[in-house]
Amino acid sequence: MFFDMMESLKSALHSIRAHGFRSFLTTLGIIIGVAAVIATVSIIQGLQYTVNQQFEGLGTNSLSVQSYTSLQDRLQGHLSRVTPNDLELISTRVEGIASITPIISPNSGTLNQVRYGSQVTGTQITGSTYTYQDVGRIYMKYGRFLSDTDNTTRRRVVVIGENVRQNLSLPENPVGQFVRIGDEWVKIIGLSEERGQIFGQNQDNYAILPYSTMRTLSGNQRIPDIFIQMTFTDINMMEAIRDRVTLLLRNAHGIKEGKDDDFRVQTSDQLTSTFNNILTTVTIVMGGIVSISLLVGGIGIMNIMLVSVTERTREIGICKAIGAKRHQILMQFLFESLLLCLLGGFVGLVLGYGLGLAASAAIPNFPTAVVPVWAILLAVGFSVFVGLVFGIMPAAKAANLDPIEALRYE
């Protein structure tokens, strides 16, 4: 049996070499199909890998609380809020919290601008506490981050990102300089290390004020909607803390039994899982669409193999006349189909990865393409499957030829 397989392999290689250009055109459909699948998967997986790294910065023992307003409520003009009272409630009534960080954004558009001399720049201004440094993975290049004292005394101080410094033409070390936010002068106490861009979004265009200072600057005309981030002393308490927070907020917001929450309590793992599920669905849909070209390639291979059987009918008759068995003829043509698909699969694999890298490099600040092992195995496995499915009919036709009729074929 091993001898038959080796002879069939040699015969298949000889046939492919003898018709090199035709073999290339035959495998072109497989090459394009596999390349399209690998390029699509590599781009999406590169995006998923990068975003997962971003979520890892939140830590596995973190919990976030934010408001949630359904579309129906929005259309009716109702907006949900997580308020400072909710923050105080969680801080005082929930045990096992290691740290809790409120994050507040300004209500007024004027508080989204920072002025220095004649220079003005729009930026993301937030108010938070000293624990935000760990949550946001912010590392200082000059100066220091916010302290607990800054928050309790409502100091007019700010930490800025590198992009803000450049836009305002501040000195390389801007610590000690005063900038204007809204109607207030605030002192720069820290400049963070540059983090670059991701998905076209600048990660250094921000200014962070103490939480209490931001509340003062925002005024008391409107109850602020805040985002709360917390960590636990023991990760095993995560479920209990989440349930406790949910119960407290439902009671505080007067939500009746059977009604949906007007807030979201999520772990970093849940955020990662949600994002991964979305990208997995996109991968499957896109992979399914571009896999159609693999089907077209398989039909092309079956067509050429049928032509090959017709061309070599007399050769098949001679082989059978001198004692070739049916399974040997079947194996010879099946191996030729498999080799064509495998060669196309490997070429498509390399080409697809190259296309993925080129596409990710062409998009500014897009993550590098990543090809997972399962995608490689899937591409090779599908190539083998196509070779078997679309090669079996021509191989069976060749094996079932009557030797006398084959020898008479002109």
pLDDT in tens, 398-407: 666 666 665 5
Residue, of 207 and 311, whose pLDDT is higher: 207
Per-residue pLDDT at 223 exceeds 60: yes
pLDDT at 149: 92
Per-residue pLDDT at 220 exceeds 70: no
pLDDT at 407: 57
pLDDT at 401: 67
Residue, of 322 and 250, whose pLDDT is higher: 250
Per-residue pLDDT at 74 exceeds 70: yes
Taking alpha carbons only, the member of 261, 274, 266 closest to residue 70 is 261
Residue, of 243 and 320, whose pLDDT is higher: 243
Kind of pairing, strands 206-210 and 124-128? parallel
pLDDT at 178: 93
Residue, of 329 and 37, whose pLDDT is higher: 37
Residue, of 321 and 3, whose pLDDT is higher: 321
Span 270-279, mean pLDDT? 66
pLDDT at 160: 92
Could you tell me what percent of the chain has a pLDDT over 70?
Answer: 73
Span 344-370, mean pLDDT? 79
| Lowest mean pLDDT across 13-17, 101-105, 147-151, 245-249 | 13-17
pLDDT at 320: 64
Per-residue pLDDT at 57 exceeds 70: no
pLDDT in tens, 112-165: 788 888 888 888 888 998 888 877 778 899 999 999 899 889 999 999 999 999
Span 367-390, mean pLDDT? 77
Residue, of 317 and 160, whose pLDDT is higher: 160
Three-class secondary structure assignment of the chain: CHHHHHHHHHHHHHHHHHCHHHHHHHHHHHHHHHHHHHHHHHHHHHHHHHHHHHHHCCCCCEEEEEECCCHHHHHCCCCCCCCHHHHHHHHHHCCCEEEEEEEECCCCHHHHEEEECCEEEECEEEEECCCHHHHCCCCEEEECCCCHHHHHCCCCEEEECHHHHHHCCCCCCCCCCEEEECCEEEEEEEEECCCCEECCEECCCEEEEEHHHHHHHHCCCCCCCEEEEEEECCHHHHHHHHHHHHHHHHHHCCCCCCCCCCEEEEEHHHHHHHHHHHHHHHHHHHHHHHCHHHHHHHHHHHHHHHHHHHHCHHHHHHHHHCCCCHHHHHHHHHHHHHHHHHHHHHHHHHHHHHHHHHHHHHCCCCCCCCCCHHHHHHHHHHHHHHHHHHHHHHHHHHHCCCHHHHHHCC
Q: What is the CA radius of gyration of the chain?
A: 33
